[in-house]
A and B are shown apart, each in its own frame.
Chain A
Amino acid sequence: MSDWPLLSLTIFLPLVGVAFILFVRGEEAIVAQNARAVALWTALATFLISLMIWANFDPAQGGYQLVEQAMWLEPLGVRYHLGVDGISLWLVLLSTLLTVIVVVGSWYSVQERVKEYMITFLIMDTLMVGTFCALDIVLFYIFFEGILIPMYLIIGIWGGPRRIYSAFKFFLYTLAGSVLFLIAIVVMVREAGTTSIPELTRHDFPVAMQTWLWLALFASFAVKVPMWPFHTWLPDAHVEAPTAGSVLLAGVLLKLGGYGFLRFSLPMLPEASAYFAPMVYALSIVAIVYTSLVALVQTDMKKLIAYSSVAHMGIVTIGCFTANAMGLTGSLVQMLSHGLVSAALFMVVGVVYDRIHSREIETYGGLAERMPVYATIFMLFMLASVGLPGTSGFVGEILVIIGIFNITPESAAIPAQGSWVALLAASGMILGAAYMLWLYRRVIFGALEKAGLARIEDLRANEIAAFAPLVLLVILMGVYPSFFTDPMAASIDRLLAEIGAHAPGRLALSSP
């Protein structure tokens, strides 16, 4: 089984589904029905194959596994080079799982251009998995930037009234980052003479060059995360995107930035990473406090959750740059957790939006009365979002806080900095609880007396089916996170070695 090109299969199987959907002809209703069915089976099959990746993954090895290599563009030395390690493994599974979930979740809610809709999401699946598996920087770049296009289409076609503005803003921000990333790639490839990511990682870039390369990469990744102050595209994009778009945007696309830091910035440019770490901490803390406060005063549910995403991703970026095992693992766990929880929260909003067609918090109130199942599921994800122990949200947060508190000093100034960062990051726990609980109170609690809510119906079977895996995973990750962290451990150690080997004493800040 492991001889099979599992990664290529996972990447390209969705495109087979696309081909099938393209051939569907006939009456519109039938086309829609068939497109849905094909999309669902394709996404499911892709997910099952991605599970095979997990089954064949050896947690004891820190290097890339299931590697596939072929010469692609001979004159440039660009290879079709794929592989997964403990850092990308779960992100691949997250992508394939969320694709299944969005297909199920939008079974009834999308009625326009169903064929194109399903095609777009399957293409997204391909590109997301491709990004996380690519081990050639050019290949990575194509997948990485390619994702922009379907996302842009999803917002621009199936989005809300201000979709054009939002799509354009999203595009502008990310394009600005992309151009700089592209330039950085060219410089790096010229310097190292290879496009292979493992080889680039082994190359020693001159320190002066690292600074500029790091900033160029940062421009691209910081927009994707998004870090403050490059975050303003996110609330707009989420608000206008259809539910499924928001789910993939929050669930997977925001992880590209963090993944970029872990795959490129840290191991390839360790000196520059150490140099800029304080800046990353500062921006992350601003993100946590600033966007939490902004989330507090939002009147639009999706905007609120979008701002909360920025705050949660602040924990991720702090964790990335702690450069110790706890911080890095915490950062990855937080990415996965956020991928599940924020995806679920956007689906939670989508459920009532489908029924009432409003995202305004004020429209709602007292839903617990008529929608007990919905209220329970919302409660679980709300609590996971505020980082309740026993849910996935806690594990990442506490690991990052312990990690940042434990960056050991070269000079005496650093631990103090670590403790301050930990304190301010932890203060996000208070604000996070405030805005999420208040949101929940206004939507679910209170008396059911607003016009139009009297006959609102509880979750349908397909919605419950879409939530169920997320519920299970959020609890599993909270109660038994070792299931997820064990396969990461060896790769995290390798990453630490790569960072440390290049910058002895600088970013090798980790305590034991």
Chain B
Amino acid sequence: MLHTILVFSPALGALLAGLFGRQLGDRGAQIVTCGLMAVSAFCATIGLVLYVGEPAFKVELLRWIDVGGLEVDWALRVDTLSTVMMFVVSFVSCFIHIYSIGYMAHDASIPRFMSYLSLFTFAMLMLVTADNLLQLYFGWEGVGVASYLLIGFWYTRPSACAAAIKAFVVNRVGDVGLALGVALCFLLFDSIQFDVIFAEAGDRAGQTVSAFGLSVDALTLMAILLFIGAMGKSAQLGLHTWLPDAMEGPTPVSALIHAATMVTAGVFLVARFSPVFELAPAALALVTIVGAATAFFAATVGLTQFDIKRVIAYSTCSQLGYMFFACGVGAYAAGIFHLVTHAFFKALLFLGAGSVIHAMSDEQDMRRMGGLADKIKITYAMMWIGTLALVGFPGTAGFFSKDAILEAAWASHNAFHLLAFWLGLLAAVLTAFYSGRLVFMTFHGEPRADHHVMEHVHESPPVMTVPLGVLAMGALFAGWLGSGMLDPDGAFWAGAIVTGPDNHVLHAMHEVPFLVKLAPTLAMATGLGLSWLFYVKMPDLPDRVVAAARPLHTFLYNKWYFDELYDLLFVRPALALGRVFWRGGDVGIIDRFGPDGIAQSALLGGARAVRLQTGYLYHYAFAMLIGVVLLVGLYLFVIGG
């Protein structure tokens, strides 16, 4: 009952605000959605207290599909992993709902916005509580649609519409992998229920399947297909291009969907399928490589961006990379731990950025900011807390989780663990640098905005700053509170995350050399120090460096040219092929030699067909009907009789 209320109260809020928005009014829609979200968050908190470390159980709701041995229920699976996820999702979402009251105060369609936010939360909760792959798929695409709707919320802006479509379509590429993963899962297990899969995964280890012209290890293929889905949703290298563009959505959306929750669904998926991934070392290697590469790639791009939200977006992309390679090296717990801490500090950073944008009359370009520290002190303090947590300053939440990941990478036996460690360490330097850059460019130095804007700069109302404060508490203390997740014996997870008998990474990570333990902190200090040097001490330094390394900067500034490449490789050819098939194939070949050719000769044969209009048509039709009947009769009489 607790969990049913937890999951479905946001759905109720979405329905009420969406269908009766006009009757409820703006205020009514806010009260209904926030109130139901608070109920959900309250239940999630109780759930966290009651069910962490308890064995898994499920709440069955309704039979969904029952066809040819494929039996799927709508059901809520409650175990420690889903309990933690439900808490993060509901709790963060609740405060972002509240924050939105202030942030969207002047928008014309408040009920629609609140409805979408609640819809998203419902879909996300369905995703994390899924007890089978198809319900997970439902949540998976449900959050995708909510994300599409919210990115395109300001639908009169062409850029927002384009970003919304891009997000959905790129995610669909990943979803193809997921759909095939579901199909393969059924081939292997005759079921897509999690408990069946996890119980029998061991029996399938080492079996091969021939698919796509290859003969490959069955579980490896399944894990890779699922991971392709995860790559799309979590914006990993190759399928990441939609995430920066998604910043077209209102800032609370960026905080909730594109930082704290939805984009982490891929990490959740890998952790959820740890019983399968543990038996598929090749898939884990792939996860490690992709995660590490993304962590590094996104951090390099983040160095050069000027849009305050895009910097944080690339940072998200990069941090997701950390979570993935944590899973890849076998430390799923560390990945989920980072997911939790990241949810708090990254939501904080985004909402802080939203507060800045709010103060600056919707300005997002950091080149036109600066000197805000005195004017919006609360926001400034909050942004520092978020930044310190992100860069892993000792004592903050990010410190615990990021250190754990890097130590695990060092200690792992995965073939690519050192690649992950070094790329992760390098990315940590870059993270600290761009984070410092963001704070310094925004809040320090001389104001670069014109005086009209500067005169209007004001601190956000309490309805926005209080949620910031709550998330800041999380960014400061989630590390202390959540460190139990890393318990080497796995007591915390109570079987929700499975590690193989040879996987001792959670033990080994405590026995790494001192220098390895110190390395992340050194990296952080280096990055922050450099950014202070670049943007406070010697403000002309960035331009000189850029001038000296022009090609590199251009390459990074243009995000490694992924968008241009994809446009050239996929978008243009698809449209060109479409035209060729249409004009050339359908009209040029099929019609020309098919019906048109025949019609041509028919028309030549009898000009009467031209007058095939109204009155004549009846005669024609009835002649035809009679003809058909006669034909049938004739054939049957003559031949059959």
Q: Are B175 and A429 in contact (CB under 8 A)?
A: yes
- Check B517 for interface membership: any CB of A closer than 8 A: no
Q: Are B210 and A398 in contact (CB under 8 A)?
A: no
A160-199 to B contact mask, C-beta < 8 Å, 1/0? 0000110111001100001000100010011000000000
**19 additional contacts, CB 8 Å, given A76-B637, A416-B212, A422-B183?**
A75-B637, A77-B640, A142-B629, A172-B598, A172-B602, A186-B640, A293-B574, A325-B67, A388-B141, A389-B141, A399-B65, A402-B186, A405-B180, A430-B172, A430-B176, A479-B62, A479-B64, A480-B64, A512-B68
B148 — which chain A residues lie within 8 A by C-beta?
437
- Check A153 for interface membership: any CB of B closer than 8 A: yes
Chain B contacts with A in 613-641, Cβ cutoff 8 A: 613-614, 617-618, 621-622, 624-625, 628-629, 631-633, 635-637, 639-641
Which of B138, B152, B578 is A297 in contact with, Cβ under 8 Å?
A: B578
A141: nearest chain-B partner, CB-CB? B632
Pick the 9 closest A-B CB pairs, nearest first. A325-B68, A405-B183, A419-B211, A297-B578, A389-B138, A293-B578, A445-B155, A326-B68, A294-B582
B415 CB to closest chain A CB (Å) equals: 27
Stretch at the interface among B98-106, B336-344, B584-592: B584-592
B199-219 to A contact mask, C-beta < 8 Å, 1/0? 000000000011111000000
Q: Are A395 and B176 in contact (CB under 8 A)?
A: no
Most buried by A among B574, B578, B635: B578
Chain B contacts with A in 512-566, Cβ cutoff 8 A: none
Q: Are A401 and B67 in contact (CB under 8 A)?
A: no
B628 CB to closest chain A CB (Å) equals: 6
Q: How far is the CA of A169 from the CA of B585 in the complex (A)?
A: 17
Q: How far is the CA of A6 from the CA of B175 in the complex (A)?
A: 45
Q: Are A401 and B183 in contact (CB under 8 A)?
A: yes
B13 CB to closest chain A CB (Å) equals: 17
Q: Are A431 and B574 in contact (CB under 8 A)?
A: yes
B60-80 to A contact mask, C-beta < 8 Å, 1/0? 001111111110001000000
- Check A281 for interface membership: any CB of B closer than 8 A: no
Most buried by A among B62, B68, B155: B68
A59 CB to closest chain B CB (Å) equals: 12
Q: How far is the CA of A480 from the CA of B155 in the complex (A)?
A: 32
Chain A contacts with B in 147-162, Cβ cutoff 8 A: 148-149, 152-153, 156-157
With contact pairs A168-B599, A482-B63 given, residues A189 and B624 touching in the complex (Cβ less than 8 Å): no
B230-265 to A contact mask, C-beta < 8 Å, 1/0? 000000000000000000000000000000000000
B631: nearest chain-A partner, CB-CB? A182
Stretch at the interface among B161-169, B433-441, B465-473: B161-169
- Check B156 for interface membership: any CB of A closer than 8 A: yes
A127-160 to B contact mask, C-beta < 8 Å, 1/0? 0000000000010011001101100110011000
Q: Are A419 and B212 in contact (CB under 8 A)?
A: yes
Q: Are A153 and B617 in contact (CB under 8 A)?
A: yes
Q: Are A189 and B141 in contact (CB under 8 A)?
A: no
On B, residues with C-beta under 8 Å from A are 62-70, 74, 134, 137-138, 140-142, 145, 148, 152, 155-156, 158, 161-162, 164-165, 168-169, 172-173, 175-176, 179-180, 182-184, 186-187, 190, 209-213, 574-575, 577-579, 581-582, 585-587, 590-591, 594-596, 598-599, 602, 609, 612-614, 617-618, 621-622, 624-625, 628-629, 631-633, 635-637, 639-641
- Check A295 for interface membership: any CB of B closer than 8 A: yes
B639 — which chain A residues lie within 8 A by C-beta?
186, 190
A150: nearest chain-B partner, CB-CB? B621
- Check A28 for interface membership: any CB of B closer than 8 A: no
B68 — which chain A residues lie within 8 A by C-beta?
324-326, 329, 403, 492, 510, 512
Number of A-B contacts (CB under 8 A): 234
With contact pairs A146-B625, A429-B172, A446-B161 given, residues A420 and B599 touching in the complex (Cβ less than 8 Å): no
Q: How many chain A residues touch B (Cβ–Cβ < 8 Å)? A: 95
* Contact residues of A: prevailing secondary structure: helix
Q: Are A383 and B145 in contact (CB under 8 A)?
A: yes
B625 — which chain A residues lie within 8 A by C-beta?
146, 149
B631 — which chain A residues lie within 8 A by C-beta?
182
Q: Are B187 and A390 in contact (CB under 8 A)?
A: no
A187: nearest chain-B partner, CB-CB? B639
B176 — which chain A residues lie within 8 A by C-beta?
423, 426-427, 429-430
B577: nearest chain-A partner, CB-CB? A293
- Check A462 for interface membership: any CB of B closer than 8 A: no
- Check A215 for interface membership: any CB of B closer than 8 A: no
B167: nearest chain-A partner, CB-CB? A437
- Check A366 for interface membership: any CB of B closer than 8 A: yes
A387-399 to B contact mask, C-beta < 8 Å, 1/0? 0111000110011
Q: Are A189 and B65 in contact (CB under 8 A)?
A: no
Q: Are A232 and B591 in contact (CB under 8 A)?
A: yes
Q: List 24 A-B contacts (CB under 8 A).
A: A138-B636, A142-B629, A152-B621, A157-B614, A186-B640, A294-B586, A297-B582, A389-B140, A390-B142, A399-B65, A399-B67, A401-B179, A402-B183, A403-B68, A406-B186, A406-B187, A426-B180, A433-B169, A434-B574, A441-B165, A446-B156, A486-B66, A511-B69, A512-B68
B582 — which chain A residues lie within 8 A by C-beta?
294, 297-298
A165 — which chain B residues lie within 8 A by C-beta?
599
Which of B70, B169, B184, B602 is A399 in contact with, Cβ under 8 Å?
A: B70
- Check A63 for interface membership: any CB of B closer than 8 A: no
Q: How far is the CA of A492 from the CA of B70 in the complex (A)?
A: 14
Q: How far is the CA of A164 from the CA of B184 in the complex (A)?
A: 49
